[in-house]
Amino acid sequence: MDAPLLQSLRDIGMTEKEARIYLALLELGEGTATSIAKKAELKRPIVYVTLEKLHKQGYVSPTGQAKIQRFTAADPLQIFNSEQTRLTNLKYMLPLLRSLYSKPNYKPRFNYYEGKEAILTVYGEISRYPKAFFISSIDRLNTFVPEEVKRWEKGYTVDTKHHKSMHILTDTPADRAFAKSIVAMHQQVRLFPKGTDINMDFSIYGNKVAITSIGDPLFIIVIESQELANSMVVLFMVLWQSARK
C-alpha cells in the first residue's frame, strides 16, 4: 500500500489497521470483509471489528441487503470536511489556550489518563460536583463506556436535587432518548444541529476541564485551572444559545 497515504490517514487519527482498510476499500470500490482483508493484508476477524469502528465514525458504509455483507468507503471529501470542523473548533479555543500560554508565572495542572477504567474514575469524580457542563455524544459514549451512561441516568434518578447540570448533545436517537430520561430530573439539555458529529466529550466542573477522546484509543486529559474553566463556561453558554431545545 502507498506509505505516504497511510501516514496521512494516521496523521488525522486513524490507526494503522483503520488506514489500511479504508485505503483498501477506496481501491476496491466495494468489497466483502474477505476481499478487504486480502487487499489490506489483515486477518478477517480484525477487519470485521475495524469495519464496525469505521462505520460508527462515518468512514465506511454497508451496502445493500445481500446475505454476505459488503462495504464501501466514504468520500475522502468527508474526511477533509471533518478535519476542517476540528480545526475550526480549535480556532475558537485558541484564544483561551493562548491566554494560559501568555502567563509564564501561572502553570495549570495537566493530567493524562488512558484506558476505560481511568476514564470511568474521572467521570466518577465529575458526578460528585453539584453542577457540571457537558458537550458530548451519548451515541458515541454508549459505544465505548455504556456503563457510565447508565450510571449517569441512575444517579440523576436517585439524587435529583444534587445534580443540576447542562448538556449539549448531538441529535441522534440515542441522545434524544437520554435527553428525555433526564430532563425531568432537573437537567437542562439542548441539541446540536442534525448531522453534527462530536468525537470528543467536554466536561467542565469546578476548576477543571476534562476532554475525552471518544474513540480508539480511549484517553482523557484533565486540566485544572480556574481561569480556563471560567472561560470554557462562557464558551459553553455561547454554544448553548445557538443549540436547539
SS3 at position 236: helix
The CATH number given to whatever domain includes residue 9 is 1.10.10.10
What lies within 8 Å, CB to CB, of 236 at 6+ separation is: 133, 135, 166, 168, 202, 204
Q: 145 and 179 in contact (C-beta within 8 Å)?
A: no
Could you list the residue range(s) of the whole structural domain that residue 206 is in? 80-242
Distance, in Å, from the CA atom of 19 to the CA atom of 13, rounded to the nearest integer, reads: 9
The CATH number given to whatever domain includes residue 213 is 3.30.870.10
Residues 49 and 107 in one domain: no
SS3 at position 18: helix
Q: 212 and 200 in contact (C-beta within 8 Å)?
A: yes
Q: 108 and 223 in contact (C-beta within 8 Å)?
A: yes
| Model pLDDT for residues 149-204, shown as the tens digit of each residue | 777 766 655 554 456 789 999 999 988 988 888 887 778 999 998 888 888 889 99
Distance, in Å, from the CA atom of 127 to the CA atom of 85, rounded to the nearest integer, reads: 29
Going through 82-160 in order, the beta strands assigned E by DSSP cover 109-114, 132-136
| Model pLDDT for residues 11-67, shown as the tens digit of each residue | 777 888 888 888 888 888 888 888 988 888 888 888 888 888 888 877 888 886 667
- The pLDDT score that the predictor gives to residue 104 is 55
Beta bridge partners of 10: none
- The pLDDT score that the predictor gives to residue 11 is 76
**Cell numbers of 73, please?**
468507503
Distance, in Å, from the CA atom of 153 to the CA atom of 177, rounded to the nearest integer, reads: 11
Residues 93 and 177 in one domain: yes
**Beta pairing class for 188-191 and 166-169:** parallel
- The pLDDT score that the predictor gives to residue 208 is 93
Last residue of a domain, one of 28, 43, 74: 74
Residues 204 and 174 in one domain: yes
- Please, what is the average pLDDT of the chain? 82
